[in-house]
């Protein structure tokens, strides 16, 4: 394991943060050359930086995760995100966050996930939804393992007759709907993953000075580990070093499917955990 100096750690954290949680291939390549290490120990050495993005006011337990693709050569940061005074089931786990970062940044393949701690059952189930999850190498502090080893006799998408997987669609395609939201939000809506409820859904958070953040609904075959679009967007904000309590919000918009809507109440509860009074704009695709 290599030791990263405090100065370099800060520099890297800054770079990753300004990149929304994505570590470009060029940066990983230069670190591998500089420290003369392979990708796996490098990812594990970067985990303390991932954990720095954690917002955990309830547990004070900071978890970091990094998803990596050997195809694109890029790595994606994840950290846990807790909402004060909101139901614990709304917490975003670091592993979910890393997969979410990969997905929202157009990644279609994950070969490794490094984590600061062993993944909980909920995360094992969430990872099980990802395309080719059985091939993902899971790097833990004391051992390297795989999902089939961590989740034997699993319940997966095929058990509900679903042949699609999370990350099957990661790109943003043109789409049309007769609603007044930004074209980018509509594209995220189309790229969301809702094979079980049919409720495609996405969120846009427009800020005054820090740009716009997007989140997409990612369902899970076991339902509970699903990630709501607002959780997804807020996790992205956290990886940019931001919290809703610290930025000036211009507008928050939720788009979901008229026929199935099920995200509106969740979004209200999550937003209620912040100090500001947010009026969420809701739009429905029919
Ligand atoms: N946590 C994770 O982020 N990943 C896991 O798999 C274990 C638990 C987080 C969730 C919560 O914020 C805190 O750790 C305590 O459970
Ligand atoms: Zn977990």
Q: Please write the tens of the pLDDT for every residue from 145-175.
A: 999 999 999 999 999 999 999 999 888 988 8
Instruction: Report the atom number in ligand 1 closest to the C-alpha of 118.
Output: 6
Q: Separation of 118 CA from ligand 2 center, angstroms?
A: 8
Give residues whose Cβ lies within 5 Å of ion ligand 2.
Answer: 93, 120, 122-123
16, pLDDT greater than 90: yes
Q: Are 77 and 50 in contact (CB under 8 A)?
A: yes
Which residue's CA is the nearest one to ligand 1's atom 9?
A: 93
pLDDT, residue 174, reads 85
Which tokens sit at 30? 């230069």
To the nearest whole number, what is the mean pLDDT of the chain?
96
Beta pairing class for 112-115 and 137-139: parallel
Ligand nearest to the CA of 125: 2
Q: Where residue 179 falls among pLDDT bands split at 50, 70, 90?
A: confident
pLDDT in tens, 215-273: 999 999 999 999 999 999 999 999 999 999 999 999 999 999 999 999 999 999 999 99
pLDDT in tens, 125-149: 999 999 999 999 999 999 999 999 9
Helix count (H) and strand count (E) of the chain?
A: 9, 10
99, pLDDT greater than 80: yes
Range of lowest pLDDT (35-49, 104-118, 146-160, 172-186): 172-186
| Rounded Cα distance, 207 and 236, in Å | 13
Q: Where residue 90 falls among pLDDT bands split at 50, 70, 90?
A: very high
pLDDT, residue 276, reads 87
1, pLDDT greater than 80: no
Instruction: Report the atom number in ligand 1 closest to the C-alpha of 58.
Output: 12
pLDDT, residue 107, reads 97
Neighbouring CB atoms inside 10 A of 164's CB total 12
Mutate which of 80, 138, 147, 273 to test ligand 1's pocket (most atoms within 8 Å of Cβ)?
80
| Rounded Cα distance, 272 and 209, in Å | 22
Find which of 84-93, 148-157, 275-284 is predicted with most confidence, using mean pLDDT: 148-157
Ligand nearest to the CA of 57: 1
pLDDT, residue 116, reads 98
pLDDT, residue 175, reads 81
pLDDT in tens, 189-207: 999 999 999 999 999 999 9
3-state secondary structure of 2: coil
3, pLDDT greater than 90: no
pLDDT, residue 221, reads 98
CA 188 to chain centre: 14
Ligand nearest to the CA of 50: 1
Which residue's CA is the nearest one to ligand 1's atom 3?
A: 93
Which residue's CA is the nearest one to ligand 1's atom 2?
A: 93
91, pLDDT greater than 90: yes
Q: By C-alpha distance, which of 95, 81, 14, 19 is closest to 243?
A: 81
| Rounded Cα distance, 268 and 285, in Å | 19
Q: Where residue 13 falls among pLDDT bands split at 50, 70, 90?
A: very high
Q: Which residues are catalytic?
A: 95
Instruction: Report the atom number in ligand 1 closest to the C-alpha of 56.
Output: 12
pLDDT in tens, 57-71: 999 999 999 999 999
């Amino acid at each position: 394991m290599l030791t990263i100096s405090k100065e370099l750690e800060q520099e890297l954290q800054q770079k990753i943060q300004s990149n929304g949680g994505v570590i470009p291939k060029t940066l990983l390549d230069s670190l591998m050359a500089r420290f003369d290490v392979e990708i796996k120990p490098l990812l594990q050495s970067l985990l303390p930086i991932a954990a720095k993005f954690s917002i955990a006011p309830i547990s004070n337990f900071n978890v970091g995760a990094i998803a990596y693709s050997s195809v694109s050569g890029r790595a994606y940061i994840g950290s846990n995100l807790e909402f004060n005074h909101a139901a614990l089931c709304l917490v975003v786990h670091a592993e979910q966050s890393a997969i979410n970062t990969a997905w929202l940044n157009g990644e279609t393949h994950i070969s490794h996930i490094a984590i600061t701690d062993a993944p909980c059952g909920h995360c094992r189930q969430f990872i099980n939804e990802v395309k080719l999850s059985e091939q993902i190498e899971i790097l833990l502090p004391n051992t390297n393992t795989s999902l089939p080893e961590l989740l034997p006799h699993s319940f997966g998408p095929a058990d509900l007759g679903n042949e699609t997987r999370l990350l099957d669609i990661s790109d943003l395609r043109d789409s049309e709907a007769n609603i007044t939201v930004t074209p980018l939000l509509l594209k995220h809506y189309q790229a969301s993953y809702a094979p079980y409820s049919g409720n495609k859904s996405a969120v846009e958070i427009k800020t005054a000075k820090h740009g716009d953040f997007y989140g997409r609904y990612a369902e899970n075959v076991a339902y509970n580990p699903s990630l709501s679009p607002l959780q997804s967007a807020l996790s992205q904000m956290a990886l940019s070093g931001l919290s809703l309590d610290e930025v000036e919000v211009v507008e928050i918009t939720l788009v979901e499917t008229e026929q199935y809507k099920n995200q509106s109440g969740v979004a209200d509860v999550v937003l209620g955990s912040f100090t500001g009074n947010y009026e969420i704009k809701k739009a429905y695709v029919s």
